[in-house]
Amino acid sequence: MAASRRTFLAASAATLAGLSHVDALPAMTAPVRAGRLKQSVTRWTYGGMPYDEFCQMLVRLGFGGVDLVNPDDWALVQKHGLKISTSNSTTRRDFISRGLNDRANHELILGELTTVIPAAAKAGIPNVIAMFGNAGTISTEDGIAACAEGLAKIAPLAEKEGVTVILEMLNSRVDHRGFQGNTSAYGIAVAEKVNSPRVRLLYDVYHMQISEGDIIRSIRTNGKYFAHYHTAGNPGRNEIGDTQELNYTAIATAIADSGFTGWLAHEFSPRGEKEAALVEARERCTV
């Protein structure tokens, strides 16, 4: 699945030219129960669908937004009346592995963020994503320090523009071998050092279940650091129904009870019928 996300980032720019001319088609909005959480869906997990068709499906199923959208695709998403819950900051294939924990990457990554943050502010996009990066020979302590140094340089711009830079913790046991920011403790240490309301964390429930478990306690204890959430079933990163081990209704309730006002984005790859899987996810997380 990790390779698919990297491949999708690289391929999106090439496919946009063939999609952007397609006019939006009318879509029926399905009635949905009111809930306390805003729900969106990641684009890359449905990369095989034409973008317009994907957006029409989300509107029809009652979702409010699309997550992890490349800047070149913002207008395409917004023409369907959908919000962009998080923007990608680059389409680099090494986006995940080449991160802020290595000071040699700071010029590149801070340049990307400096470009995307003001544009995201103008487009009404609340979050842009960045990565901690693979460890290599970098110690945990130096990785945390390097991330904090880099983010401290971009925090003033993020604060000025009202856009949050979110850093995602990923598991290094199954999907992202060698990734350094593989626990919530790592991410929190970075966020505490930067000490900016516009530098926070993306808490991916699937990844953190593999890395550390204790999901609901983490949300209740550390929710102030989490600006965004991702869902997926474990094991397999598939639907969030009864065939996997996480109780997403309880998790969504804990998120909502924490006073969270951001977005919960579904980032699973359905094995079965796409729309049925999304409807089930929406309903389980409507609390």
Query: What is the model's pLDDT at position 32?
Result: 81
Helix 274-284 crosses helix 248-257 at what angle (to 10 degrees)? Answer: 50
Mean pLDDT, all residues of the chain: 92
Taken in order of first residue, the domains within the chain and their CATH numbers are 2-19+37-284 (3.20.20.150)
Place of tokens 């970098």: 138
Q: What stretch of H or E contains 120?
A: helix 106-123
Tell me which residue of 225, 244, 235, 220 sits closest to 1, measured CA to CA. 235
Each residue of 144-182: pLDDT tens digit?
Answer: 999 999 999 999 999 999 999 999 999 999 999 999 999
Residues of the chain with pLDDT under 50: 1-3, 12-30
Query: What is the model's pLDDT at position 3?
Result: 47
Query: What is the model's pLDDT at position 20?
Result: 35
Helix 215-222 crosses helix 248-257 at what angle (to 10 degrees)? Answer: 10
Query: What is the model's pLDDT at position 19?
Result: 33
How far apart (Å, rounded) are the C-alpha atoms in residues 91 and 106? 17
How far apart (Å, rounded) are the C-alpha atoms in residues 219 and 259? 11
How far apart (Å, rounded) are the C-alpha atoms in residues 203 and 266? 12
Query: What is the model's pLDDT at position 18?
Result: 38
Each residue of 74-105: pLDDT tens digit?
Answer: 999 999 999 999 999 999 999 999 999 999 99
